[in-house]
Structure 1
Amino acid sequence: MMDVIIREIGRKVNELTREFYETIIPPVDMYEEGGELIVIADLAGFNKDKINVRITSQNDLIINAERELQYIGTKYTVQRPLRIHKVIHLPVKVRKDSQITAKYENGVLTIRIPIEGAVSVKVE
């Protein structure tokens, strides 16, 4: 009986840990470069075809990703996130009808977002 209780407590803690990480992950860096906002998100272990990126009319960047984990055997612990839902309010206005690009390479998602009103000035 005690083994069942301990196993269930452990299972619940693992679920809570995974759910916690699903809300704070991925870590994101943002910076401006050449009239674009560059957003870099760590999404290691996700397949490119399971990543969805969009920008809302309220200027929110939304990153969604899902993965399935394959296990051999019956005893395992899952702490890595299975789903990501990250909403980031962008600190700049996005150009309407702009060419936003996203590249996923080696577990890192890089999004390039043109900034409304940004003008590049050539320095001579």
Structure 2
Amino acid sequence: MMNVIMREIGKKLDELSRELYESVFPPIDMYEEGGELVIVADLAGFNKDKISVRLSAQNELIINAEREIQYIGTKYTTQRPLKIHKVIRLPVKIKRDSQVTAKYDNGVLTIRIPVDGSVSIKIE
């Protein structure tokens, strides 16, 4: 009886830890470079077609991703997130009418957003 209870407690702890990972992950880097705000997010294991990125009216970048993980055999621990919902408050005002780009390569999502008030100057 005690084994069954401990197993159920373990399952609940695994579910809670996964939910924590889903709210904290992915880790990001954010920096400004050449008039653009650059956000780099680690999304290893997610397919590009299951990732969505959008800008909110509140100057936030929202990253969502989903995946399915198939388990073969007995599963003991599950910490890899099945979904991600990351809301990133942008520290600078962005140009709403300009080209925002996103690239997903080798599990890394890189987003470039032009910063309002910055102008790139071509040097001749």
Deviation digits for residues 41-65 of structure 1 (CA, Å, limit 9, x no counterpart): 0011111011000001111000000
> What is the Cα deviation at residue 105 of structure 1?
0.6
> What is the Cα deviation at residue 98 of structure 1?
1.1
Aligned to 1:34: 34
Aligned to 1:50: 50
Q: Distance in 1 between matches of 2:123 and 2:76?
A: 58
Aligned to 1:115: 115
Which range moved further: 22-31 or 113-122? 113-122
Deviation digits for residues 3-62 of structure 1 (CA, Å, limit 9, x no counterpart): 110110110111111111111111110111111111000011111011000001111000
Q: Distance in 1 between matches of 2:29 and 2:74?
A: 37
Aligned to 1:10: 10
Percent of residue pairs identical: 73
Aligned to 2:78: 78
Q: Distance in 2 between matches of 1:11 and 1:67?
A: 20
SS of 2:88's equivalent? Answer: strand
TM-score w.r.t. the length of structure 1 is 0.93
Deviation digits for residues 99-121 of structure 1 (CA, Å, limit 9, x no counterpart): 10100011100001011110224
Q: Report the RMSD for the aligned CA atoms in angstroms.
A: 1.4
Unaligned runs of 5+ in 1: none
> What is the Cα deviation at residue 73 of structure 1?
2.2
Q: Distance in 2 between matches of 1:34 and 1:6?
A: 55
Aligned to 2:95: 95
SS of 2:84's equivalent? Answer: strand
